[in-house]
Structure 1
Amino acid sequence: MALSANLFLRQSQSLVMTPQLMQSIQLLQMTHFELNQFIAQEVEKNPLLEFTTNDGEMGSDDGRQAEDEGYDGHGEDRSDHQSGNLESDWYESDNTGHADRLSAELDTNFSNVFPDDGPPQRLDAPELLSQWKSMPGSSEPSEGYDLDDFVAGQISLRDHLNQQIPFLLPSPADRLIAQQLIDQLDEAGYLRADIDEATGRLGTETAEIERVLGILQTLDPPGVFARSLGECLAIQLKQKDRLDPAMAMLLEHLDLLARRDFATLKRVCGVDEEDLLDMMTEIRQLNPKPGSGFETGVSEAIMPDIIVRPSADGSWLVELNPDTLPKVLVNQSYFASISKTGGDYAFLSECLQNANWLTRSLDQRAKTMMKVASEIVRQQDAFLVNGVDHLRPLNLKTVADAIKMHESTVSRVTSNKYVLTPRGLFELKYFFTVSIGAVEGGDSHSAEAVRHRIRTLILQESPEAVLSDDDIVDTLKEGGIELARRTVAKYREAMNIPSSVQRRREKRALAKVSGF
């Protein structure tokens, strides 16, 4: 067969991902912090983009220019007020004597310049006047006060330990070893260092490090520098003079205590049931994480992207949080003025195109978030009214079909976005749960609502009537929820709830300790 070149005309469709389209998709899934960082970078490299103030105006010097030119902000020249014309409209009007009116017209302030003539200031805390001289009502003059200035700063675990070391370790060599060990502490106060590795790095003997470590384990908080949970509890009990042989044996078998195997523990420790309960009570009063009470890092508050409030007609009012909305505008006047002066028109045109695209993308992002949030609120109306028990099963496809968008768009919008409701602050992903079938064709239930039901049943059980997984299945079936026993066990283990045998042992032990 002969080979030949032929020319064909073919028509096809394909999806082309332009850079702007890719950035628009990325804007949907950005958090508030990431979005502000992205906009700040765009404003820095685009001269036509400007941040707006709280009043919605650009941060320009127009107001100062008008003031320098002699205008009072109402379109009138101030020279008219300085010419001695006492027959102006404001002077003979009904507003004579009104401080607000006079302040607006004369561009001045009629506040009381003689504070002694005014009423006495209210005492916010009379019992603290001797310590807080800047509080209103104090005998000493002040410019005011801020309660944040009187809040005690939190101290870190490292700083707290460094304050105690000079009193116990006068030797510079011992302090060097102590600093190396402090650097190996985790957030809970446990020592994660390898003694042999530290010995080689410091060029000293293992006995010296063990000696310094023994001194460090006497520092406050009790239990710090422990290498295991048992050692942490042993240090605290030793400082209380309660580390007897029976208690030491109990700490060596914490795995039996975790399994609630009280019979084996009584035999291993050589104590009766009453002594074992007393020992367990003492252990419960100890702190397994001695370093958790200190500041470990900067905690950032979650700012909701959407706010849901009840309206007067009984429905729900869904709105975007104005504090999270980016405030950026395109300076068209600056583009026009620079274009007239013969500037780089190609560069300015590209900047204008990018700026317009960014504002349109931000507006589309806000509209998409409103659509998704409004549909979620409509679907989960029963949850907002009655609580977690009435959380409906919901998936991305249901919301996407309702608002006529793709599932991937809904997934990006709900990623790392939070909504503030009368029930609390929730991530938008929280409202998407799988469906669990109901008995005899009833309404399906949400998996989160079923887990909440299981947790409630277990919390309400008594030591004499502890529910097994089969009992929970029967109780849920009576409530119209069809669930297998292995599913109940899976949900229970996911919530870190022990089995019925372990719960029965623990509840009976607690009941005896409480005297019931």
Structure 2
Amino acid sequence: MSLGPRLELRQSQQLVMTPQLQLAIKLLTLTNVELEAYIGEELDKNPLLSTSDGADTADAPVAAEAAPDASASGLDTLLGGGEGSAGSGDTPLDIDPSERFQHDTPGDSADWGAAPTGGDNDDLDFDSFAAADASLGEILAIQASAAFDGADLIIARHIIDLIDESGYLGEPTQDIAERLGVDISVVEAVLAGIHRFEPTGVGARNLAECIAIQARDADRYDPAMACLIANLDFVARGDIPGLMRICALDREDIADMIRELRRYDPKPGLRFGGDRAAPVVADVFVHRGDDGEWRIELNQATLPRLLIDRDYHAVLEAGADKSTTNFLNECVHSANWLLKALDQRARTIVRVAAELVKHQRGFFDHGVGQLKPLTLRSIAEAIDMHESTVSRVTSNKYIQCERGLFELRYFFTSGVGSSDGGEASSALAVKDRIARLIAAETHDTLSDDKLVEILQREGFDIARRTVAKYREALGLGSSVARRRARLLAAA
């Protein structure tokens, strides 16, 4: 076989991620808050994009105007198994534009979707005007400047830098003294001064010292309380007889001191600082219509209504040179694609949410006990989309209903079989039942075996190890731990 250059023709198919397809995928994964920021950036970059305050765009989810000549690569078609072709075609982004928001199930008179209505974009977000909370270090530094000066202030600032967010000093004073080149007694004296700062208990080196500082501040640190604090492991175990023996006190005195301990903060530093929690904004609203059926509505209060300013385009294009004309054409093309992608994003979210509500109607009617097992594939097959598209739609999206605010992924759960051969139940429904059984405990503490017995009588085919796993996931202790906690509470 000779080696040498030659010409060959090969025919193959491959998926091409056009810029339009990339934009559609990107917008589909964004939440309403992220989408609002993205639209703001596009408004800054594209002079032909503008917002509309009129009510004439109520039929469109976001885009008030979309050019008829805008082409679209089929997002779901291209993602569905790699059956795409090079370049962009005329396939819509997953949904027929003629469908609008009305989603009627064949053979079912229930109206699962309703056209979204616009929100009031003039509502003020007062949280945006709130000043950032001062951190624990900043609060301690202010107090240190008032309490110390000179070398002591330098030592105090160094100690404050070593205090963690919970308020504890994690480094030994001997190491601090060696690093700063001072006597350890000086460091201990400065640390004792920091112990008098707010919040009370800050700068402690362990839990016992933190509680002791707070007890001294409350003028409750007597020898009996000191003995109790020195034996916190007995308190954690609920060993009341052991505490009575060690502290030489009766049960009533021990109970009184334990009640005092409960008033102290084991992590005083957590009261201050930390990042401000980002607000969770619902992407979809679910409400019951006048006919008793559930209706789906996009939350558009956070999204501006976009349109292409044709008049401004005509003014700019009049007498423009070739480079300006090319730039304006690019702006029009980009705006057309953005409007179409936003419109298709809205339709896709509504379609997925409508099918989800249909599958989980028991939850919306009766609560978490009626949740059914559900997978992304089930929704994808029901609405003829690819599973990856449904995954993008449900990622970091929230739904607001009468029962509260839930992430869309909340409704996708594994199943627990039925012991009588009936329909499987959602794992969340089983967890809810376990939590209710434990919350209803009185004098008798339910063991995991007892919980299995009760659940199996109620029709759940569940093993003991599964009950233990669900109980631990709920943050509930074992029967022994719950029994000890009950003894402490009754002390």
Q: 1:142-221, aligned counterparts within 5 Å?
A: 157-158=136-137, 160-162=139-141, 164-165=143-144, 168-169=147-148, 171-193=149-171, 195=173, 198-199=176-177, 202-221=180-199
Which residue, out of 467, 472, 481, partners 1:502? Answer: 481
Give the structure 2 partner of residue 47 of structure 1. 47
Number of residue equivalences:
419
Give the structure 2 partner of residue 38 of structure 1. 38
Give the structure 1 partner of residue 462 of structure 2. 483
Contact kept, 8 Å, 1:335 with 1:348, in 2: the verdict is yes
| Pair 426,349 (structure 1): closer, same or farther in 2 beyond 3 Å | same
Which residue, out of 399, 409, 422, partners 1:442? Answer: 422
Deviations along 1:42-64, one digit per CA (max 9) or x if unpaired, are 2222222223346679xxxxxxx
Deviations along 1:264-310, one digit per CA (max 9) or x if unpaired, are 55555555555443332222121112233335443332211111111
Contact kept, 8 Å, 2:36 with 2:303, in 1: the verdict is no
Deviations along 1:295-330, one digit per CA (max 9) or x if unpaired, are 544333221111111111011121011113343322
Distance 1:315 1:227 in 2: 59
Which residue, out of 388, 401, 404, partners 2:381? Answer: 401
State the secondary structure of the residue aligned to 2:336: helix
Distance 2:174 2:16 in 1: 59
Task: Report the residue type matching 2:46 in the other structure.
Answer: N
Deviations along 1:2-54, one digit per CA (max 9) or x if unpaired, are 67988766543221122332232121111233323322332222222223346
Q: Once the 2 structures are TM-superposed, how far is the Cα of residue 198 of structure 1 from its aligned partner?
A: 4.2
Q: Once the 2 structures are TM-superposed, how far is the Cα of residue 152 of structure 1 from its aligned partner?
A: 11
Give the structure 1 partner of residue 298 of structure 2. 320
Task: Report the residue type matching 1:373 in the other structure.
Answer: A
Q: Once the 2 structures are TM-superposed, how far is the Cα of residue 187 of structure 1 from its aligned partner?
A: 3.4
Q: Once the 2 structures are TM-superposed, how far is the Cα of residue 435 of structure 1 from its aligned partner?
A: 0.7
Larger Rg, first or second structure (1 or 2): 1
Contact kept, 8 Å, 1:305 with 1:324, in 2: the verdict is no
Distance 2:53 2:30 in 1: 23
| Pair 276,329 (structure 1): closer, same or farther in 2 beyond 3 Å | same
| Pair 4,342 (structure 1): closer, same or farther in 2 beyond 3 Å | same
Give the structure 2 partner of residue 382 of structure 1. 362
Contact kept, 8 Å, 1:415 with 1:429, in 2: the verdict is yes
Q: Once the 2 structures are TM-superposed, how far is the Cα of residue 374 of structure 1 from its aligned partner?
A: 1.0
Distance 1:376 1:457 in 2: 29
Give the structure 2 partner of residue 230 of structure 1. 208
Q: 1:81-120, aligned counterparts within 5 Å?
A: none
| TM-score, scaled relative to structure 2 | 0.77
Matched, 1:414 2:394: yes
Give the structure 2 partner of residue 110 of structure 1. none
Q: Once the 2 structures are TM-superposed, how far is the Cα of residue 421 of structure 1 from its aligned partner?
A: 0.7
Contact kept, 8 Å, 2:237 with 2:484, in 1: the verdict is no
Deviations along 1:46-85, one digit per CA (max 9) or x if unpaired, are 222223346679xxxxxxxxxxxxxxxxxxxxxxxxxxxx
| Pair 261,14 (structure 1): closer, same or farther in 2 beyond 3 Å | farther
Contact kept, 8 Å, 1:260 with 1:502, in 2: the verdict is no
Contact kept, 8 Å, 1:462 with 1:507, in 2: the verdict is no
Q: Once the 2 structures are TM-superposed, how far is the Cα of residue 372 of structure 1 from its aligned partner?
A: 1.1
Distance 1:3 1:160 in 2: 77
| Pair 167,9 (structure 1): closer, same or farther in 2 beyond 3 Å | closer
Give the structure 2 partner of residue 365 of structure 1. 345
Contact kept, 8 Å, 2:238 with 2:488, in 1: the verdict is no
| Pair 427,194 (structure 1): closer, same or farther in 2 beyond 3 Å | farther
Q: Once the 2 structures are TM-superposed, how far is the Cα of residue 503 of structure 1 from its aligned partner?
A: 1.4
Which residue, out of 277, 281, 284, partners 1:303? Answer: 281
Give the structure 2 partner of residue 141 of structure 1. none
State the secondary structure of the residue aligned to 1:462: coil
Matched, 1:280 2:258: yes
Give the structure 2 partner of residue 107 of structure 1. none
Which residue, out of 324, 344, 352, partners 2:332? Answer: 352
Matched, 1:29 2:29: yes
Deviations along 1:157-208, one digit per CA (max 9) or x if unpaired, are 4554455445543x33222322333333333323345645644654433332
Q: 1:256-275, aligned counterparts within 5 Å?
A: 256-262=234-240, 273-275=251-253
Q: 1:71-82, aligned counterparts within 5 Å?
A: none
- Does 237-246 or 341-350 show the bigger shift? 237-246
Distance 1:266 1:487 in 2: 39
Contact kept, 8 Å, 1:391 with 1:448, in 2: the verdict is yes
Contact kept, 8 Å, 2:362 with 2:371, in 1: the verdict is yes
Contact kept, 8 Å, 1:436 with 1:481, in 2: the verdict is yes
State the secondary structure of the residue aligned to 1:309: strand
Gaps of 5+ in 2: 58-125
- Does 395-404 or 177-186 show the bigger shift? 177-186
Q: 1:118-133, aligned counterparts within 5 Å?
A: none
Give the structure 2 partner of residue 92 of structure 1. none
Task: Report the residue type matching 1:283 in the other structure.
Answer: L
Distance 1:298 1:354 in 2: 35
Give the structure 1 partner of residue 80 of structure 2. none
Distance 2:5 2:137 in 1: 78
Distance 1:492 1:245 in 2: 40
State the Cα RMSD in Å.
Answer: 3.0
Q: Once the 2 structures are TM-superposed, how far is the Cα of residue 447 of structure 1 from its aligned partner?
A: 0.9
Distance 2:198 2:393 in 1: 47
Deviations along 1:135-154, one digit per CA (max 9) or x if unpaired, are xxxxxxxxxxxx99xx9997
Contact kept, 8 Å, 1:380 with 1:431, in 2: the verdict is yes
Distance 1:264 1:11 in 2: 83
Percent identity between matched residues is 46
Distance 1:152 1:185 in 2: 24
| Pair 262,439 (structure 1): closer, same or farther in 2 beyond 3 Å | same
Give the structure 2 partner of residue 20 of structure 1. 20
Task: Report the residue type matching 2:351 in the other structure.
Answer: K
Distance 1:302 1:320 in 2: 15
Q: Once the 2 structures are TM-superposed, how far is the Cα of residue 233 of structure 1 from its aligned partner?
A: 1.1
Contact kept, 8 Å, 2:200 with 2:214, in 1: the verdict is yes
